[in-house]
Amino acid sequence: MTAIDTERRVEAAGLRSGNCQLAPRNESGNPLLNKLAHFSGFNPACAPTVDRLFRRTAIVPRHRDILSEGSQADEIVLLLRGWAARYKLAHDGERQILSFLLPGDVFPSHPLPVGVIDYGILALTRCTIKTATAEAFDHAVLRDADLARAFWWLSIQDKAILRAWLVNLGTRSAYARIANLFCELAARLRLAGVIDGWVFDLAPTQEELADAEGLTAVHTNRTLQQLRTDGLIKLDKRRLTILDSARLQRAGDFDPAYLNPGGRAPIHLF
């Protein structure tokens, strides 16, 4: 058993979240459906279809590629438990992590047989995944308008997260970048119904955090110390506690609105 056990809380989330009607067959809670429940245009009727699309379950050990850069993507993957990272290698071997994938995330999340993919997906913890064949997925999403809307929404959200990362790297200091990232992760875990409060297991190592934020591991370490001594977070053995969410949010210039595209009311996360 790994030390990272965001996974254990999945069951509790299913009971807690108020959208049981969305997953009638699945009392334990499907994090993807939890996410979609925040989409105002989501048609609950297609929840079973979403659920049925991903048939095959598999377990991927930590630090194994789920998808490799340059491979053929003939399966669509739904991450059920655990953390993963989408990354890309620059020519000199430097690695950029493009996004952290949390329970409920789907990749690649578009209905187009896209052939060779230009990034890799790495399991940061032991992951439980479910897969759909690309054909079945493409067919379903292109035929059913409700399903199409749902996956367009996921795609828009995904792009908004990417843009937020670009702003993070382009305009903010190391301190603000990391504060911002922690806010994003907390908010997204909440959207997926995986956590409740301000504590969660932070799967990435400091080196992986560094590769995500365009920093070195050393400087990431020093910055984390700073966040600790400022009383914003507690971080021990990869368990992160957000001690002062308001100040962390301000430090990271974090605005959660982008996580709920099209939503009238911003989700109550902070």
Residue 153's nearest CA partner among 40, 17, 268 is 40
Cα→Cα distances 57→67, 80, 127, 149, 247, Å? 15, 9, 10, 25, 40
45 binds a second copy (CB under 8 A): no
261, interface contact from DNA, a second copy, none, CB < 5-8 Å by kind: a second copy
Instruction: Name the 3-class secondary structure at 96.
Output: strand
Asked if residues 104 and 216 have their Cβ atoms less than 8 Å apart, the reply is no
In the bound complex, what is the minimum distance in angstroms from residue 206's beta carbon to a second copy?
16
In the bound complex, what is the minimum distance in angstroms from residue 220's beta carbon to DNA?
7
Count of residues engaged in binding a second copy, rule: CB under 8 A? 50
Cα→Cα distances 263→4, 153, 154, Å? 32, 11, 13
Residue 32's nearest CA partner among 266, 147, 247, 192 is 192
135 binds a second copy (CB under 8 A): no
Contacts (CB under 8 A) with a second copy, residues 157-186: 158-160, 162-163, 165-167, 169-172
Contacts (CB under 7 A) with DNA, residues 157-176: 173-175
Which CB sits closer to a second copy, 24 or 113? Answer: 113
Rounded to whole angstroms, how far apart are CA atoms 155 and 68?
A: 21
**Is residue 26 exposed (0-12), middle (13-18) or buried (19+ Cβ within 10 Å)?**
middle
Which CB sits closer to DNA, 175 or 270? Answer: 175
Tell me which residue has tokens 């795609």: 155
Within 10 angstroms of residue 225's Cβ, the number of other Cβ atoms is 11
Pick from 221, 244, 261, 267: which binds DNA (CB under 7 A)?
221
Contact characters 95-134, a second copy, x per CB under 8 A: xx-x-----------xxxxxxx-xx---------------
238, interface contact from a second copy, DNA, none, CB < 5-8 Å by kind: DNA
In the bound complex, what is the minimum distance in angstroms from residue 59's beta carbon to a second copy?
27
Which CB sits closer to DNA, 160 or 167? Answer: 167
Torsion over CA: 195, 29, 104, 41 (sign): negative
Structure tokens at 141: 């999403």
Residues that bind a second copy (CB under 8 A): 41, 88, 90-92, 94-96, 98, 110-116, 118-119, 142-143, 145, 148-149, 152-153, 155-156, 158-160, 162-163, 165-167, 169-172, 211-214, 253, 257-258, 261-264
Residues that bind DNA (CB under 7 A): 2-3, 63, 173-175, 205-207, 214-219, 221-225, 237-238
